Amino acid sequence: MSQLRFTKMHGAGNDYVYVNLFEEQLPAPPEKLAPLVSDRHFGIGGDGLILITPSEVADARMRMFNADGSEAEMCGNGLRCVAKYVYDHGIAKKDKLTLETGAGVLSVELETDGNMAKRVTVNMGEPILEAAKIPTTFDESPVVNQRLEAGGREFEVTCVSMGNPHCVIFVDKADDDLVLKIGPQIEKAIQFPARINVEFIEIISPTEVRQRTWERGSGETLACGTGASAVCVAGVLTGKLERRILNHLLGGDLELHWNEADNHVYMTGPAEEVFSGIWPVPHGVPLYSQLA
């Protein structure tokens, strides 16, 4: 039976199984492994699988697979954890790192305590607001307060891509009926050809919100960094929020700043290593002889 060496990490409760491909080799294709390791009853448990690999253009590369095996372009919470892993495990012992993602090369700054990274600030880059590039089939760009029907109800949605697509909806109460029933319907709505992540947002003040997320390919997650970044942008576009906000997610808090000077969104938050181990790959999983 083949084995997989892994590290379990989370950023504000958004937890993934991380594999260091600087040292390890995958025993099976990542799209096959991701659903198995993500299973919280029969696997390791997590929102997906993240691979930390060598890069020709950055200190390291992140590849992120959702719990259903689909590959996503970016994950803000995952990126903070990759940065912590790269620093803590000596892959690149620098307070400022560059990390390659499906959304391009992003820069991160680490707040360290001795030999460990405690908090990470990620330059999430510029938001993508053009409808076709998000992608969505809405005619208007930017997609702000557009009407969308789901579950027999009508919503005003604002769409932003932070390397992956997000649909932000401001609501009075982000309850289970909205997140767990309406969320998956909007994820697969015809207006979103690549599916979409859905954020339901309660406004506490112009500088503070509460977020629940239905994440494309994973279901509800305790946090979503790209989603929190999209919320900051959507709040400014709709006139509901200021450019600096504190976002309370189910798994913890994130600080966001959509900088008017350079048009980049900056996200600051925690990254935690939970445990490491060796997982026996079940029989029947196709073996994988080379890196993806």
Mind listing the pLDDT tens digit for each residue in 54-78?
A: 999 999 999 999 999 999 999 999 9
Q: Catalytic: 232?
A: no
| 115 known ligand binder | no
Which of the following is catalytic: 75, 159, 167, 232? 75
Whole-number pLDDT of residue 287: 54
Whole-number pLDDT of residue 289: 44
pLDDT tens, position by position, 72-119 = 999 999 999 999 999 999 999 999 999 999 999 999 999 998 889 999
| 226 known ligand binder | yes
| 40 known ligand binder | no
| 197 known ligand binder | yes
pLDDT tens, position by position, 14-30 = 999 999 999 999 988 99
| 263 known ligand binder | no
Q: Catalytic: 224?
A: yes
- Is 0.85 surpassed by the pTM of this model? yes
Residue 26, amino acid: L
Domains of the chain as residue ranges with CATH: 3-123+271-280 (3.10.310.10), 131-263 (3.10.310.10)
Which of the following is catalytic: 81, 159, 167, 224? 224
CB 102 within 8 A of CB 51: no
| Nearest Cα residue to 1 out of 27, 26, 21 | 27
| 225 known ligand binder | yes
In this prediction, the residues of the chain whose per-residue pLDDT falls under 50 are 289-292
